Amino acid sequence: MPAEWAPHDATWIAWPHNAEDWPGKFQPIPWVYAEIVRHLSQVEDVHILVNDLTAEKRATQILRRTGANLARLHFHHWPTDRVWLRDSGPIFVKNPEGNLAITNWKFNAWAKYDNWRRDDQIPQHVAKHYDMQQFKPEIALADGKTHRLVLEGGSIDTNGAGILLTTEECLLSKIQERNPGLGDQVATRKQLEQAFHDYLGIDQVIWLHKGCAGDDTHGHVDDITRFVGENIILTTVEKNTHDENHLPLAENLDRLRSARNLTGSNSGKPFEIVELPMPSPVVFEGQRLPASYANFYIANSLVLVPTFNDCNDRHALNIIARCFPTREVIGIHAVDLVWGLGTLHCMTQQEPA
């Protein structure tokens, strides 16, 4: 699995249509999406899933008004349950000859919601669209049955050189359990690490403990810790000792500081750790939302970063800009977007070049 900063052919997104994903606040969301697509369409193609032709026409009208590059937009009439393509979309892999394939993991709406069957079809649609080889990760259970592994793209992050970040809270917890039946935590960890090796080319997995407060997915790593270079990890910290994020993020930081790179030319070296602040808590209707600057998306020559009308916005943008000196780093106002319990990384899925 290539790193996100490797060259892209395109970004895949799904156009927002389910008002229940942003209860009482849906009206601005298509315009937020249009602003994101406007930036992406300057640097790469954008594939947009819509439910039907009517939805395509409505989206095109909004995108035209916001100045998106319509020549780089490609619509697909594939109905979706939700629009978080990081989790339901295809995870592309690449072999040494440069050929792409799709890994089609099962999506079950974070083991939380009942309506996921249309989203689970998305990788299959993309594979058929490209006539591309796909792999469906499966393992044999103790009772002899075959289990199709559940994995969301937001639960992992890779440096493109065989190392993967994830959290125990998401993949090993009994709460919102993704893959019941794999055994205890030790057995589950072992089988998942083997699957990451077999299907994503991963040689080392760094297990963090927990994700951030307000995270509906129960511990996605893309809200807290991201690779920004082969041996450089950007991780969120919360200085306020009274905030519920303080201790979990401090524990993650300790784990990263004691970790060593076990691959390639960096073998044996500690990782370079860059600390990223969290915004002040974003609360709407009494609910703490998973607002985090770590949910940025790396596109060709561009990094889009969620911002929250917060004094830490500029600090976060500057830190991320130092990590990507050759790319434009652009803040996207995400206070409305995060009411859907995700932001920029959650809604996008890169297609490597």
Q: pLDDT tens track of the chain, all 353 residues?
A: 999 999 999 999 999 999 999 999 999 999 999 999 999 999 999 999 999 999 999 999 999 999 999 999 999 999 999 999 999 999 999 999 999 999 999 999 999 999 999 999 999 999 999 999 999 999 988 888 999 999 999 999 999 999 999 999 999 999 999 999 999 999 999 999 999 999 999 999 999 999 999 999 999 999 999 999 999 999 999 999 999 999 999 999 999 999 999 999 999 999 999 999 999 999 999 999 999 999 999 999 999 999 999 999 999 999 999 999 999 999 999 999 999 999 999 999 999 99
| Spatial distance between the Cα atoms of 88 and 80, rounded to a whole number of angstroms | 10
- Answer for the pair 215, 249: CB distance below 8 angstroms, yes or no: no
Polymer length of the chain: 353
Beta-strand relationship, 232-237 and 272-277: parallel
Looking at the DSSP bridge assignments, the partners of residue 148 are 138
Phi, psi of 79 (to 5 degrees): -60, 140
Q: Return the closest-CA partner of residue 291 out of 346, 348, 330.
A: 346
- Answer for the pair 162, 168: CB distance below 8 angstroms, yes or no: no
| Spatial distance between the Cα atoms of 202 and 198, rounded to a whole number of angstroms | 8
The structural domains of the chain, ordered by start, are: 8-345 (3.75.10.10)
| Spatial distance between the Cα atoms of 84 and 82, rounded to a whole number of angstroms | 6
Question: Which residue stretches of the chain are H helix?
Answer: 29-40, 53-66, 85-88, 109-112, 117-120, 122-130, 168-171, 185-200, 246-258, 313-323, 344-347
| Spatial distance between the Cα atoms of 262 and 270, rounded to a whole number of angstroms | 9
Read off the pTM.
0.97
What b/e readout covers 261-274, taking b as 16+ CB neighbours within 10 angstroms? bebeebeeeebeeb
- Answer for the pair 280, 22: CB distance below 8 angstroms, yes or no: no
